[in-house]
Each structure stands twice: as C-alpha cells, then as structure tokens.
Amino acid sequence: MPLAKLLKSAINNWEQKNEGASAADSGLVVKTVFVDGGRVLKRMRPAPQGRGYKIRKRSNHVTIIVDKKN
C-alpha cells in the first residue's frame, strides 16, 4: 500500500505541474521506478561479556516518474 500512496502523489504532482490537464484523459503511464539507499540509523545492542553488537536500521528512497504515453 505505501507504493499506491506514492503513485497517487506522483499523479497529483503531474496534474499540478500541467495545469488544465487531467491525468485520466492524458493516459499517464509509469515511466520509471527505482529505489536508492537512504539513511542508516546506527544503534548498539548489548551482547554477552560487556560487548555491543551494531544494529543498522536501513531505510530507502523510492522514486516514481509518470509521463504521457507516447
């Protein structure tokens, strides 16, 4: 469901950029989708004998590009 929300946002952004054009009438298609690595939250978890294990909580950036069908 997060990708559906992202797609709706991309369509809305296209409509705002192209004033007077409707996304339903323009025949929009998803041109590109790619995922890039985002920030990493670094945490420590207690381990035996006074050690600490590193925990890396990874995130990402998803980019969707919509455009008219050629």
What's the whole-model pTM score?
0.69
Question: In terms of C-beta density within 10 A (0-12 exposed, 13-18 middle, 19 or more buried), how is residue 33 classed?
Answer: middle
Q: Check which CATH number belongs to the domain holding 26 and give it.
A: 3.90.470.10
CA neighbours within 13 Å on the CB side: how many for 64?
17
Contacts with 2 (C-beta within 8 Å, 6 or more apart), sequence order: none
Q: Is the pLDDT of residue 70 over 80?
A: no
**Angle 68-69-70 from CA coordinates, rounded to 5°:** 110
| Structural domain that includes position 55 | 2-68
Per-residue pLDDT band for 20 (boundaries 50, 70, 90) equals confident
- State how far the Cα of 38 lies from the Cα of 48, in Å rounded to an integer: 31
35-67: per-residue pLDDT in tens?
999 999 999 999 999 999 999 999 999 999 998
Say how many domains are in the chain: 1
* pLDDT at 2 (0 to 100): 86
